[in-house]
Amino acid sequence: MSLDVDAGHRTRMLPSNQRRHARPPGPRRLLSWLDLRAAPYFFVSPYFVLFAIFGIFPLIFTLWVSLHDWQLAGDKTFIGMENYTELLADDKFWNSVVNTVGIFMIATVPQLLLALLLANALNKKLRGRLVLRLSVLAPLITSVVAVAVVFTQLYGRDYGLVNWLLSLFGVDAIHWQNEKWTSWVAIATMVDWRWTGYNAIIYLAAMQTIPKDLYEAAAIDGASPRRQFWGITVPLLKPTIIFTVIVSTIGGFTLFAEPVMFGAGLMTGGTTGQFQTVAMFIVKEGFRDFQYGYAAAAAWILFLLILISALINFALVRGLGRSR
């Protein structure tokens, strides 16, 4: 029950349910509704508007282009699924898929493991920890072109530093660009050098949120630092590991700049396409051969490959977490 004073200064009792459902007059009621219900949607709407313009629309338009014989100039003939059927029978496309998956596997697995170990080391009490933590981000802010040029020189056949070091152990000079496996390793080292520190900082930030009490209790129980790392740190980092795995999957399947610079700017990925990625294949078909419909079909298949691979990696990481 509550008291209400009318214009004649008379006091009367209103039931609490009536007071609870009493609403403000028209304009105030509208403003109150806008503030409580519409304002949150208004504040988040810019993201969805930009996502629709730069995310959903390109996907739909690319799908529409993939269903046409789309040339730079001339008619746009609707051909249905012909681009997809031709693409699935194209040996060059599947060669680029194999190259992409191969480089991704060689680069991503050691990259995330090294990042995890590096983050664990940076999480210890060390002198100059801030400088060390900032230094691991130095490769990330370096131009990818500069990185590719330096690594191309390092892997040079005649005067490369890597071949010189291998010659000290009696290994003959390797032409890193001529074979699949050697070119994959060279490109993977570029990727690892650039992105290991980035993932390490993400892992380090996640490690900072783990309560110290868990490590103190484990130490009292006699757990070694190694046991604490694998028994406490890694399981609690599972959501972060899933995030980095998915992001690395997207980045690995869209790899473009490193192999292009490694191949002197050519989209063919070597004389026989030994390190041509799917992204390079799409750019070659679309912007060198001007087969936009064919390139759009390859882009959509790449999107599906990324989606399937991300789901598989997500399931694997979750399964490893549950198996402990």
- At residue 322, the pLDDT reads 55
Taking residue 217's Cβ as centre, other Cβ atoms within 10 Å add up to: 13
CA distances from 206 to 75, 210, 233 (A): 54, 7, 9
Query: 18-73 pLDDT, tens per residue?
Result: 544 445 456 677 667 666 777 777 788 888 889 889 888 988 998 998 888 887 66
Mean pLDDT of the chain: 82
Which tens digit of pLDDT belongs to each residue from 84-107?
A: 999 999 899 999 999 999 999 999
Is domain 88-319 classified as CATH 1.10.3720.10? yes
pLDDT at 111: 92
Q: Averaged over 75-79, what is the pLDDT?
A: 81
How many CB atoms are located within 10 Å of the residue 114 CB? Answer: 15
**Per-residue pLDDT at 31:** 66
- Say what the pLDDT of residue 263 is: 82
Res. 210 pLDDT band, cuts 50 70 90: confident
Domain ranges of the chain: 88-319
Percentages helix, strand, coil for the chain, rounded to the nearest 5?
Answer: 70, 5, 25
